[in-house]
Amino acid sequence: MVVEFPKYQYPLTYRSYDPVMLSSPWQAPSDSASDLTDVLAAITSDPMRPLTPADKAYLWTSRDALTSTPAALMPFLLSVDWSNRAQVTEAYALLYRWSAPTYLQALQLLSRKFPDPFVRAYAVRCLDSLPDYRLRLYLLQLVQALKYEPHHDSALMRFLFVRAVKSPSEVGYALFWLLQAELHLPLLLSTQYLCHCSTYRLELYQSVYVMRLLEAIAMQVKLQPSKAASEAMLRDRLANAIVPQWFQLPLHPTVFYTSFVPAQCRVMDSAKKPLFLCLVPMKPQQPLPAPSNSICHNTIFKCGDDLRQDQLTLQL
C-alpha cells in the first residue's frame, strides 16, 4: 500500500515552544495598575466594562497569583490572545489549577464571549454538581447559551440531555417547554429528548395538547365584541372541551390536573385578554369531591406575550 501526502511549495514545520519560558513572569507595562487587588476590584465592579490593553497585560502577567481567586477567572480568560497557540495552551493548563468558580461564575463562561469548546466544557463540568431543583432555575440561561455553541454536539447539550433524561419531571419537563419557545432555531436537543424520554413522552404530549387547546380558546376570546361575550365563549369552550384524564401545566410539572371549573374561569381586563383558569388537581387513591374554591388551583394563561423576560426579571 502506498500513501501519498499532499506536497506544498514550502516545507511544513511544527513550531514548538518552551513551557518554562511561557510560564515565567515578565515585566508588566508601566501604565498598568500596580496593585492586583485594585485591578480586580475595578474589573469586577463593572462586568460590562471592556478590558483595556493594560488590564489584559496585567492579568496575563499575574495569572499565577490569580489562580486562587475564582472571580478572576473570567477576566483572565478575556485577556488571553486566542490566536496565540502558546497562550491558549497555557490557559488550558491553568484551568485545572484555578480555584473552582461558583455556579453563577461558571454560567458566565457560557456566554458568547467564550466560544472556545474547552472553556465551555470546563464551565459545564463546574455546573455538573448542581442539584436538580437549582439546575431548573438556570435552565432559561442555559437554553439561551445553546445558541452560542459552535456545534450541535457540545458539552452543554450533552449535559442538559443527560440531566433531563435522569430527572424528567424536575428538569426534563421545564427544558422541553423552554426548547419549544426556540423552535425557530435549529436546536436538535428537543427532538433527541423526545426520542429518549421513554414513557414520559405521553405526559409531554398531553401537556402540548392542553396548551394548544387553551391557545385556540384564547384566540377566539379575543375576537368577541364584549367582555360578557368573551367570558361566555370561554366557559362554553371549557365545558365542552375534551381533555386528557390527567395533564400538567408548564408552571407546575409536579401537579396533575383532571379538569377545569368553567363557572370560576373568566377573562381578565388586559390588552392581551389573559384567561383566569380554575383547575381541579388530581388526588391519587382518593375520590375527587365536587369542585370548590378550597381544592381548585388558579392560574393565568396569557397568549401572545413572551414571558421569559418576566421570568428573568423575577430571578434578578
Q: What is the pLDDT of residues 33-75, one digit of tens each?
A: 446 777 777 777 776 778 888 888 888 888 888 898 898 899 9
* Spatial separation of the C-alpha atoms in residues 256 and 281, rounded to whole Å: 6
Domain 46-199: assigned CATH number: 1.25.40.70
- For the stretch 172-219, pLDDT in tens is 888 988 888 887 665 677 778 888 888 888 888 999 999 999 999 999
Q: Give the SS3 label for residue 279.
A: strand
**Range(s) within the chain of domains with CATH label 3.30.1010.10:** 219-284+295-315
pLDDT at 21 over 50: no
DSSP-derived pairing of the beta strands 252-260 and 275-281: antiparallel
pLDDT at 7 over 80: no
- Which residues 6+ apart lie within 8 Å of 104 measured at CB? none
CATH architecture assignment, domain 219-284+295-315? 2-Layer Sandwich (3.30)
DSSP 169: I
CA dist 80 and 76 (Å) reads 7
Neighbouring C-beta atoms of residue 149, cutoff 10 Å: 17
- The answer to whether 247 and 234 are in contact (CB under 8 A) is no
Which amino acid, one-letter code, is at 216? Answer: A
CA dist 281 and 95 (Å) reads 49
Q: Kindly state the DSSP code that residue 78 receives in the 8-state scheme.
A: H
Beta strands in the chain (DSSP E): 247-249, 252-260, 266-267, 275-281, 297-301
What are the cell numbers at 102? 461558583
pLDDT tens string 265-298: 999 988 888 999 999 998 654 444 444 445 788 9
pLDDT at site 124: 95
Q: Distance between CA 183 and CA 185 in Å, rounded?
A: 5
Residue limits of CATH 1.25.40.70 in the chain: 46-199
The better pLDDT of the pair 88, 32 is held by 88
Single out the residue of 316, 264, 269, 272 nearest to residue 290, CA to CA. Answer: 264
**Angle at the Cα of 40 from the Cα atoms of 34 and 46, rounded to 5 degrees:** 125
> What are the distances in angstroms from CA 308 to CA 114, 143, 183, 311?
24, 12, 15, 5
pLDDT for 194: 82
pLDDT band at 252 (very low <50, low <70, confident <90, very high): confident
What's the mean pLDDT in 78-86?
92
d(CA 196, CA 301): 29
Q: How far apart are the C-alpha atoms of 42 and 22, rounded to whole Å? A: 27
